Amino acid sequence: MKGLQQLRIVGGAVHDPTNGIDGEVRDVCIENGRVVAALPDGAPTLDAGGMIVMAGGVDIHSHLASSSCNHARRLLPEEHAAEPAPAPLLEDGAPARSGTGGTVPSTFTTGYRYAGLGYTTVFDAAVAPIMARHSHAELEDTPCVDGGFFALMGNDEFLLRLIASGERGRSRDYAAWLLGATGAYAIKIVNPGGIEAWKSGQRNLNGLDETLTTHGVTPRAILETLADAANQLGLPHPVHIHCNNLGMPGNVAVTLASMRALAGRRAHFTHAQFHAYGGPGWSSGAVPLMEYVNSHAELSIDVGQVMFGPAATITADGPVEYLLHKSSGRRWVNIDIELETGCGIVPILYKDKAAVSALQWAIGLELFLLSADPWRVVLSTDHPNGGSFLSYPALIQLLMDRTVRGERLKQINPKLLAGSALADGLTREYTLNEIAIITRAGPARLLGLQQKGHLGPGADADVTVYSRDPDIARMFATPRYVIKAGTLVVEEGQLRRAPAGRRLHVRPGYDDALLPGLQKHFQAYSTVAFDNYPVRGIRDEPIPL
């Protein structure tokens, strides 16, 4: 029951929303790492009778393998010391690695823990292009999951210059070059223009049409340029956007303005909870946000739920971390990254008795519960910003069980919840099929991963089997079996094998006319030689476009 070429998973209730299967008891057949329609009689079987079968989970937005994560790891030795993680005992004494936990676990431990949750595909959502080599190295040491990352572009010097001179086509070429040079999967924008404003002394940009004085460019122009670039390049995932004004009261206005600016274009807006605050004081902006999201099929969000407990905020959004440091008094890392982006880190504790944390928690749940289309509203905690990925099972329980949710609501600080839809009573309970959508089928579709997130023939054999349990959180925290590319990774709830994952990346084409100007730019301002910049020798071939 290990490196089996064939396996028939028998008797489980299958939740495969991509293929319209909602709890039907049927077999799932696997051959050579793929799902197949049928297997010959006598193929080895795995008894899933009475259990629930889903595709492996897909995390669309996490921070797990980047230089910024590593700076956060370094900042938190006391968390690691409190959570030693001895090497798992793998079958046949296969080598496994020890590590440490905390809000930002060591790499091997991260891979094992994702697999232990039934997640088999994960993306790091924010990698500075110049640090891409580092992310590839960390991903090499993050077993059990297929992984990739998004390259930060919304504050890139060369791009800002192109946008300032109205060169949209050349901007697209540059985005394409940068994706290929770094081995990234998608274009990421963090606080468009605001990081450059932070670095250049303007401090931040607060509105969509506020001008970045160093370049004469607005966030609107950055969003439009990169959204168009992603769509015109035919990237599997559209531009992935962290809006301006993260975490600020009243920021739902700029979030909605950003969405309107891209109306009609495919775009993904990330950790929407952190961008859904009414104003001028603290209040929920979830209702207007979800009214817009529900009525615009071209856009999607992930929620970025806050879960009570310790977290580490890690973001390229330098100015927001400075403010968090000033308001919390906690340790603060700021790293300005040449010509490209920034990095800020502040550890944080979300307390249920703290009014703002309680509001954030409530807003996240409102986004989920007000969603009309689960295919476009993805589960995330923006790990580890809103909480660890290990809290996904508890979050799923809050979505599926209104009694648990109601009890929790009674315990939290209600001060800022006036007018909150959640406090007014949202009775919706997510079904298992909807959970399958927001944790695998939906994100896989939004990421353009045609072989992920479902169990139809041709899909990657990434399968998670859960034992039914009235305690939903426990059920999702301890899958009975997890299969990754046909390998049984978790067996009877124990991690038994730890195969390496695949690298997911793209290499779009571009017009070579880009290169002379780009080389000149490198020569004038970069500290890394143009020829040394690209990451070479990435293990897996790029995803065909």
Interface region with other proteins, contact rule CB under 8 A, candidates 224-232, 414-422, 499-507, 518-526: 518-526
Which residue in 198, 308, 375, 389 binds other proteins (CB under 8 A)? 198
Minimum CB–partner distance for residue 307 and other proteins (Å): 21
Cα distance between residue 136 and residue 142, in whole Å:
10
133 touches other proteins by CB under 8 A: yes
Cα(99)–Cα(85) distance, integer angstroms? 5
Angle (CA) 73 77 81, round 5°: 120
Q: Which of 146, 143, 118 is nearest to 465 (CA)?
A: 118
14 vs 6, 17, 47, 463, CA distance in Å? 19, 9, 13, 10
Rg (CA), the chain: 22
* Helix, strand or coil, per DSSP, at residue 51: strand
Please report whether residue 515 would count as binding other proteins according to CB under 8 A: no
By CB under 8 A, residue 126 contacts other proteins: no
- Sign of the alpha-carbon torsion through 180, 185, 186, 192: negative
- Classify burial at 150, counting beta carbons within 10 Å of its beta carbon; exposed 0-12, middle 13-18, buried 19 or more: buried
Please return the burial class of 513, using the count of CB atoms within 10 Å of its CB with bins 0-12, 13-18 and 19+. exposed
Query: Does 127 help bind other proteins (rule: CB under 8 A)?
Result: no
- 157 vs 302, beta carbon nearer other proteins: 157
Per-residue binding string, other proteins, 456-495, x by CB under 8 A, is: ----------------------------------------
Identify whether the C-beta of residue 9 lies closer than 8 Å to the C-beta of residue 39.
Answer: no
> Per-residue contact track with other proteins, 140 to 159, x per CB under 8 A?
-x---------------x--
Q: Does residue 43 bind other proteins (CB under 8 A)?
A: no
SS3 105: coil
Q: Binding to other proteins by residue 131, rule CB under 8 A?
A: yes
List of residues 6+ apart from 445 with CB closer than 8 A: 18, 375, 453
Q: Does 98 engage in binding with other proteins (CB under 8 A)?
A: yes
Residue 279 CB contacts under 8 Å (≥ 6 apart), including other chains: 249, 250, 251, 252, 253, 285
**Residues in 209-248 at the binding interface with other proteins, rule: CB under 8 A:** 214
User: By CB under 8 A, is residue 107 in contact with other proteins?
Assistant: yes
Among 458, 529, 539, 540, binds other proteins (CB under 8 A): 529
Q: Considering only 7-15, 77-85, 462-470, 493-501, which stretch makes contact with other proteins by CB under 8 A?
A: 77-85
Q: Which stretch binds other proteins (CB under 8 A): 78-86, 239-247, 253-261, 502-510?
A: 78-86
Q: How far apart are CA 233 and CA 218, in angstroms?
A: 23
Q: Could you identify the residue written with the tokens 């992930």?
A: 302
User: Smallest gap, in angstroms, from Cβ of residue 449 to other proteins?
Assistant: 25
Of the candidate spans 218-226, 282-290, 299-307, 320-328, the one that interacts with other proteins by CB under 8 A turns out to be 320-328
Q: What is the dihedral of CA 123, 124, 129, 131, to 10 degrees?
A: -130
| 91 forms part of the interface with other proteins (CB under 8 A) | no
Of 26 and 330, the one with the shorter C-beta distance to other proteins is 330
How far apart, in Å, are the Cα atoms of 424 and each of 204, 294, 418, 427?
35, 20, 9, 10
Q: Does 323 bind other proteins (CB under 8 A)?
A: no
Our finding on whether 531 is near other proteins (CB under 8 A) is yes
Of 114-122, 128-136, 272-280, 499-507: span binding other proteins (CB under 8 A): 128-136
**Binder among 525, 539, 540, 541 for other proteins (CB under 8 A):** 525
Site residues for other proteins per CB under 8 A:
67, 69-70, 73-77, 79-81, 84-87, 93, 95, 97-100, 102, 104-108, 130-131, 133-134, 137-138, 141, 157, 198-201, 214, 322, 325-326, 331-339, 345-346, 524-529, 531-532, 535-536
